Structure 1
Amino acid sequence: MNRRRPPAGAPGGLWLTGLIFGLAAAEPTAAQLQLDQSSVRVDSVVVVGNQRHSANIIITRSRLRAGNVVRQPQIQDAIRRLFSSGDFSDVEIGVEASDDPERGVFYIRVEERPYITQYAFRGLERVDEDVIRDTIGLANNSPLDPSRIGRARVTLLELLSNEGFPTASVDTLIRPDPAFPPDLLVVFDVDEGPRLGVTAITFEGNEAFTDAELRAAMSTDEEGFFWFDSGELKKDEFRRDLTERLPEFYRANGYLDFEILGDTVISDRVTGKGRIEIRVEEGARYLLEDLRITGNRAFPLATIEPIVRRGQHQAEGDEAYPPFNFTAFYASPADLGDLYRNNGYLGSRITPDVRRVEVPEGEPPRVSAHLAIQEGPRSYVREISIEGNTATHDRVIRNRLLIFPGDVYSQERLIQSFQNIQGLNFFEPLPPDEAIDIRPRPDGDIDISLRVQEKQTGTLNFGITASGYTGLAGFIGYSQPNLFGLAKTGSFRWIFGRRQRDLDISYSDPELLGSHYSANVTLRSSRDQFTGFSLGDRRQTGGLTEVGIPIFGIRNTRVFVGYSLFDDDVRGLDTTNVIGRRFSLFSGLRSTLSGRLVQDSRNNPLFATAGARNQLAFRQTGGFLGGDGNYQKLDLTSQWFVPVGRLGGGPGSTSPPIELTFGLSFEAGLILGRNPFFTERYYAGGTQAGIQLRGYDEASVTPSGHIPGDTPFSDLDRVGESFFRTGVTFGIKLTNSIFMSAFMDAGNVWLDASQLNPTDLLVGAGIGASLVTPFGPLGLDYAYGFDRRDVLGRPDPGWQLHFKFGRVF
């Protein structure tokens, strides 16, 4: 490396000694700021002290170029730029006279920082070290930065504390790297210590509430008997207990002057046990003298006041005024704001105000609460634009909207519209603040822009499937739910196996010829040989068509009218010892006219977390339609879903929230008339062949009770002509493809419609998980059948594992 040294004894000495700058820190000192302000033209730049970095790179970073006129501020900026690179621990810039009296030679002396070849963690188990690396920016083969190492240590201790290890310690070891001297290795030596379990939380200074009542307001809790009462002390949660939860609890009960005086955590590192002592000052309890609402013109007080007074207390005993719920009062503008925004008052402002009232000496303090409403003008929707739909036509999306140009703006209907669009399952999930853009207009009205992001919808699938009633089979198929970008559905499926062969081709159009009518057509050729019970070998060939007609004025509701024609051929059916009137036709023609009334407001067809689906279906087979038999089949299905909570997915989150839902379902059916087709009757048990009743084998729930599959019993008598089933589900939607649940099923089948008795049900309960795959939903359920019996008819409750294909709930 070429280096120029300042010439010793230069003629005339150093004529610019006043501009010699030395800096040992990132900022210039006060003495340097008072140096000569004269300018110097750069003759050349010489770098001294560099080994790892080339002189050209250092000169480029400094921006000191030959020929430029440089003043003191430019030299200070050059030093800052070199320091900001993080490569140097010391930088000095000096100027010396050159042969040209108007020029100077600039010298940049640097002291390079050693490089860290590797950051290593030792003893760290409870925290992912990559989180530390990414958060702090610990990159291997980077310059030594003591402040960054210090931040990493502090962050590591905070994360461990939040995981329940507040007594953890971290030692930082910096040593030469034997493989690459003089570079360094940095090792974070972690001693996590025991997980701290809080055995006691006590309070000092509390008189209005007991320790137990205050503990109930906190997230941090004492150790208990059960595994979920771990008593873990997590630093962030404990901090929120002290700064948010306890103050909010007291303010909700009228104690506006409440303070946390201090807290002490006493821990034993050997046993991992600890206790918390919290000192509080409750202050006086404030009573609510009056609550006034002003400025409301669009809604009467009868509508507004219940919202504002929600959560407020009633007067106690002989007191004339109730305690003031400060927390509820300051939360009411949000609820009241929803009312106004759902009715077009997008610019409404609601301001709460609380003032202390002068009271006679000796009386408890009182406050006066006032809610001032500024309604502003009503906003109307002018334009609704769709962005990002590169494959799906605008009209498909607009048909899911519940708010239209010319409507009064409604936040509730806009959010429901967004959920309907997501429910199409054609687009990637986007957070509402990215998907919805509300643009105010100068006249007070608004334009709405809805943004979507297309995802791959067509799927080609093949593989192997296993079923509890048809055995092992291979399959190949293709499904496209958004044909031509018009939400038309086309699918082809071929299942082939020793006991099952099924060729199915279907097409559905939600907007027949561009109208509001829908239609679907299905052609099928199938063969089923049941393995769970001996109902023979069924061959079925035919098709069905159906037209859907919307009911004017009723959202999400349609009437479907259809016709189907199938040729049934059944072989190998066991008809010995048949109980009751069980006539069956081995080969026959089913000619059916059907009508269905369907209301479907679910937010997702697979993993619904809100909404409902109700269906009433009537089918007439044979008789005046020709074919065999003459019977009517009536079926009722009702499913309801209510969201009960969300975990995560808040503002700034990059992942969707975990959604919690509660589901309730009912199913019932009966057959009237002469039905010669046993496969048209009802059979229950399991998850695949018929009516779902988990905890029991396939088709093991019969009109005679639970009959195991290996019992000497005519399998034709396993079917009935009426049934009832109900179920409850607590679901956890982890992602758009993964769903977990806890459930309870209850149901039964009866010999005919006259015996239907919804109080005589077999019960099962358990847990399950479902996964959406390219070839449909797959799932496992593990359920306990409470009313199972053995082959001798004795009670034999037990567990049953179910594999599901094509079914979620």
Structure 2
Amino acid sequence: MTDRRDAGTSCGGRKRENKILWRSLTSIFLLTLIGFLPLPHTAWAQNFVFNSFDVEGNRRIETSTIIARTGIELGQSVSTGELNDAFQRLLDSGVFETVELTPRGSTLVIEVAEYPTINQISVEGNSRIKDDVLLEAISSEPRRVFTPQVAEADADLIAEIYSSQGRVSATVIPRIIRRSDNRVDLVFEVAEGTTIEVERVSFVGNRAYSDRRLRRVLESKQANILRTFIRSDTFIADRIEFDKQVIRDFYLSRGYVDFRVNSANVEFTRERDAFFLVMNITEGQKFSFGQITTVSEIPGVDAAPYQDALKIRPGVTYTPSLVENSIARMERLGIKQGVDFLRVEPRVTRNARDLTLDVQFVLTKGPRIFVERIDIEGNTTTLDRVIRRQFDTVEGDPFNPREIRQAAERIRALGFFATADVEPREGSTPSQVIVDVDVEEQPTGSLSLGGSYSVSDGFGVAIGLSESNFLGRGQTVGLSLSTAQDAEQYTVNFSEPFLLGRKLRFDLGLGLSTTNSSFASYDTETLFFRPQLSYAIGELSTLRLRYGWSNSEMTQQDDEINGAVISSEIAQGERTTSSLGISYVYDSRIGGLNPNAGVLFEAGIDAAGLGGDNEYFKSTARGVAQARVWNEEVVLRATVEVGALHWRGDDFSRTLDRFVLGPSIFRGFEPAGVGPRDLSNGQDDAIGGNYYWVTRLESDFPLGLPEEFGLRGGVFYDFGNLYNLNDVNTSGANIVGEDGSIRHVIGVSVLWETPFGPLRFNFSKALKKEDFDKEQNFDLTVQARF
């Protein structure tokens, strides 16, 4: 009996053999068939040999120039690829609109169509920006070859100019109008679009300071209800980077050393007619100064004097500017002590537990590198010496990178230049440095037209003409005219910031002032001449020396009857005053240790009697203390003013010589509304006083209204006194208030920041006054410049 499994296996094996056989036969057949098919011929690149050139279509470009541009030589074998390269070279030359190369036997025919020449350039559709501004910015020029690439680039540039003014939707299309002789008129068609405002500026991640406080730091502003007159709420992309830097500086100056801006996102509103600006920030922790030490790594240099020169104290809020100022102070001390190439390296140690930063100032020797020279370029009007005097370093001095950076900042702060780049580079030897100063000048003259209003003087007009870089010498010359209903003043001013090449400022004022006040029974006319010298005697203090000459006269108003005192003073006629004075000013509100607090103190005395008719000593002093509290939202301010007049002449003093207080010094009263008065002849004449003191306490704060309104609130409390009539001709007079009394005034204010200037509305009430005082419950002051 046969086994079924063996039979099945034998059958399956035969089937597999048959399949293999059929596959082998099929393969042999296909190979045989392919062998009888014709094979393709190999394609070889064609070569050309040209014995002549035929150039057609050129008018401006010489035939030889076109042939040379192809790079093809006569009699040379040229491949198809090389012919294509020649075509590309002609096209890339930028002067041909079309190019065609055609081999005709041994002749290469070159057909070109030259780009046309620009006949004239114009801009259409623009109303916000003048033609001159746009045409000056583009590269295309008349009588030059027109190319579409350049025209498109110019159109993009014009669109960028509009975008920088907030018109991001502006479009510019270059078009050409064909003229004869292969010329075209180039026209840029502008669709200006509308300005897109910043509807909301907000912050994410801020805890120490509110959005309202941070918005005041930024250049970009939220849309204002008076946005027609301002441009700071218009979206400008380049302004975002500046805002990121100023917000960083704001936090660093307040001890937040780990602060960073994570992102600044700008998004369209749903209606796509405005932007949202959102800054995502990380504040970090606030640090203060810890231990402040100084060590010397220079043999023979004692660190103790440098430590004594420091003004930083432990516990003060950390700020990089204080460290930088300390380094500058120590390096200046090194120069005085004859230590060349002194470098001060601050080494900061973080104390995370108590949030302090220990700073160790290390005195080291810097590399022996000298300033070979200072090269200045780009100043066509400004004299070289105006720029050079901003450097404390001169040729041959040791090179100090920090001083070069500070000089660059001073040059930019002049306001004479649109750009100012200061870069050091290696000089003729590795031990020398050349400082390159590259500037671009900008207009420095200005014409200002303004208006003013005050309860004291009424409405007025102010016109000013100023040049801050007169004849390129860095001097300021100005003419101003201000007129109001009750006062007029005409002045000529001149300032020289570096008299005799030294850091000595010279100011000169010459003018005429007249008053016709409704608050007085007399008019005045004063001609004055006031030169002054100012010299910085410290980082925050200034000494001023001045001379004053004036010729003044009091005259009777029409149909006005004067009291006995005023009548006697009018009878004196013209009087001349010649005086010398000195003042000291200390101001830490900007450059002090605390960015949120500071003081201002100024005191001076004038001695009259160097010729002229009047002889006296007149002294004044003022102190102001200011601080920001509650996350810098609330401003607290205290001011104290005092004045004293000691008359020395044989004649009597006049009201013009004595102190007369107005609302700017003592709120709540009319001009000359407080102090001694003469009631004789049925009059009520304010006659001033020899002594006064006033204390003003005030605060301003947000009202909780939307910031775009620009409104803040305020409260104030003023108290003071004006008294003493020594050396006053009181014969026949009925004097009240000679001994004086302390007046007290409280009030509230509304402060409104407008594009026209700050408006301040004061509403006041006198808590204590004299019956003869002239109270004023409302005062509005505004001054604007357009």
Q: Which protein shows a greater Rg?
A: 2
Q: Which has the higher contact order (CA 8 A, sep 6+)?
A: 2
